[in-house]
Amino acid sequence: MNFFFFAGVVALVIFFLVPQVEKELPQGVFYKKDVPMPTNLHPTVEKRKDQLVETVQEAGINIVITEGHRSVQRQDKLYEQGRSSEGKIVTYARGGESYHNYGLAIDFALEHEDGRVIWDTEYDGNGNGRSDWLEIVDVAKGLGFEWGGDWENFKDYPHLQMDFGLSIRELKRGKRPEVDEYADEE
């Protein structure tokens, strides 16, 4: 009995006295304990989103950013859609498993000339003979975004993200991209 008491005391002392800020994981990967979830878009993603909107508007395309940062609770609610609540399945990512949760993704749609928000990948509102959707995607990729329409399993056509080389696993462990990543080349 004394051994277990002693082992418990040692474990508590180690837990409280050893810094819990960073822990090393296999292969030199570090994570920070209790790193808060972001509450808005990463500054680079925000800036590139604004550049995207400005560029495609200059080309006569009416883009609508339908979503940016998304809370874990909202992500869970979207995940329930088509499963435990009504509607079509729109995501396979639970809360904490989407780049939206880390401020690294945006979703977009188009504004039809009559004011409706549409997700029509064939629509050519600027009348240049090319899909507005694909024009947006080309500009977005040029700004460093990855497009969900290029994914093999679940095509997410409205989705654009910048992962900064970080996996969801790393983000869940508290790793975050530097603010000055992808610094602008003006």
CATH of the domain at 89: 3.30.1380.10
Q: Does residue 118 form part of some domain? A: yes
pLDDT at 21: 41
Q: How confident is the model at residue 26 (pLDDT cuts 50, 70, 90)?
A: very low
The structural domain count of the chain equals 1
Rounded Cα distance between 91 and 67, Å, is: 14
pLDDT at 9: 47
Residues 36-92 have pLDDT tens digits of 899 999 999 999 999 999 999 999 999 999 999 999 999 999 999 999 999 999 899
Q: How confident is the model at residue 183 (pLDDT cuts 50, 70, 90)?
A: low
Rounded Cα distance between 101 and 3, Å, is: 45
Residues 110-169 have pLDDT tens digits of 999 999 999 999 999 999 999 999 999 999 999 999 999 999 988 999 999 999 999 999
Q: Flag whether pLDDT at 13 surpasses 80.
A: no
Q: Does residue 35 form part of some domain? A: no
pLDDT at 35: 85
Q: How confident is the model at residue 20 (pLDDT cuts 50, 70, 90)?
A: very low
pLDDT at 111: 97
Task: Tell me the average pLDDT across 96-106.
Answer: 97
Q: Does residue 129 form part of some domain? A: yes
Which residues make Cβ contacts (< 8 Å) with residue 57, sequence separation at least 6? Answer: 63
Q: Does residue 68 form part of some domain? A: yes
- Which backbone phi and psi does 85 adopt, to 5 degrees? -130, 165
pLDDT at 2: 63
Report CA-CA distances (Å) from 31 to 52, 60, 61: 32, 44, 41
Which pair of structure tokens corresponds to residue 177?
């991209």
Rounded Cα distance between 182 and 176, Å, is: 14
Q: Does residue 181 form part of some domain? A: no
Q: Does residue 126 form part of some domain? A: yes
Q: Does residue 113 form part of some domain? A: yes
Q: Does residue 59 form part of some domain? A: yes
Which pair of structure tokens corresponds to residue 98?
């989407």
Q: Which domain holds residue 100?
A: 43-173
- Which backbone phi and psi does 159 adopt, to 5 degrees? -95, 130
What is the amino acid identity at position 176?
A: R
